[in-house]
Amino acid sequence: MPLSLQFLEDVWVRRSFSAAGHTLLVYDYLLTFTEEFIYIWKAPWTVMKIMFLLSRYGNLIGQTTIRLEEAGLLAHDSQKFCRGFSIFSTCFTLVSVESIHILVLLRAWAIWGTRRRVTNIFAWSYVGCIVVLMVSSVYGLYTGNIHFQFLEVAQVCVATGPNYVWLIYFGSFILDAVTFVLTMRSLRIYSREFQQLYPSSLLHVLFRDAILFFIASTFSNALTVISWTAFRTNPTYFLAKGFATPLLSVAGQRLVLNLRGLQTRSYETHDLSREVDRQLQAFAAGCSPGMDNVEELEGVRE
């Protein structure tokens, strides 16, 4: 098939969106490094802390590698390299996308205080989703006779997207929707219990970030399905990896950092005293009928 102008335009679109996604990821990293230092690096070493750092810096390394390939600096007209890069980028994208969901899930439910069993069920559901998607994708890449088109001209690994793998993403859609509902519920419960301690502006930011994360997650899944169906034989099928994945990472990391800030926020003594007094007054008001009955009984005894 001869090289067409449309192919070159699609490669340009793919490169542009990959550059935009990587730039957004790096820019957000610089903006949130102070919060990362306060809420993550100063905190004790836990599984959550290790997972967050692996996700954050793994995304930076992985997306930088993708950006270098998209800039035409790594392929060097090598079909072998492109096969390896396809496997790497597929596995990296799947792990990146699902791991950020696990982080949000664990952090939101740590605040809510739900049962560990329920949390484990959803966390392992995401792990199972990662395994199934990775096995299906890698199997399709290994067994398929993949030839990367016009590699000597484009210097970018362009091949046909995997077939039927997009069907598995419907499971991810369901998990994302459930995670969003439970995250919003945990924030709603938390805002009711501690509305006197936490400023409404902070809670509004958390609600905003949770909604943005769900939108980014839905957009990522939708773009993946569309790319691997409508644009499966087109260079733009790579948009899910090069643009949607860093967008989702930014939204997820911001939500995790803000949730972490909610839990570690410090208060003055008079703020805590005021909240305790408020809760005692509410408790006394709720128990006042019972107290009246006790006083009546004491009067009868006298």
- Return the pLDDT at 93: 87
- Return the pLDDT at 286: 46
Does residue 133 contact residue 101 with C-beta atoms inside 8 Å?
no
Residue 89 has pLDDT above 50, yes or no: yes
Instruction: Tell me how far apart the alpha carbons of residues 281 and 286 are, in angstroms, rounded to a whole number.
Output: 9
Does residue 154 contact residue 72 with C-beta atoms inside 8 Å?
yes
Instruction: Tell me how far apart the alpha carbons of residues 172 and 179 are, in angstroms, rounded to a whole number.
Output: 10
| In the chain, domain spans | 5-266, 270-302
Percent of the chain past pLDDT 90, that is, above it, reads 22
pTM, rounded to two decimals? 0.76
Fold for the domain defined by 5-266: Rhopdopsin 7-helix transmembrane proteins (1.20.1070)
Q: How do residues 189-224 score in pLDDT, each as one tens digit?
A: 766 665 555 556 666 777 788 888 888 888 888 888
Instruction: Tell me how far apart the alpha carbons of residues 57 and 2 are, in angstroms, rounded to a whole number.
Output: 41
Instruction: Tell me how far apart the alpha carbons of residues 210 and 234 are, in angstroms, rounded to a whole number.
Output: 33
- Return the pLDDT at 166: 65
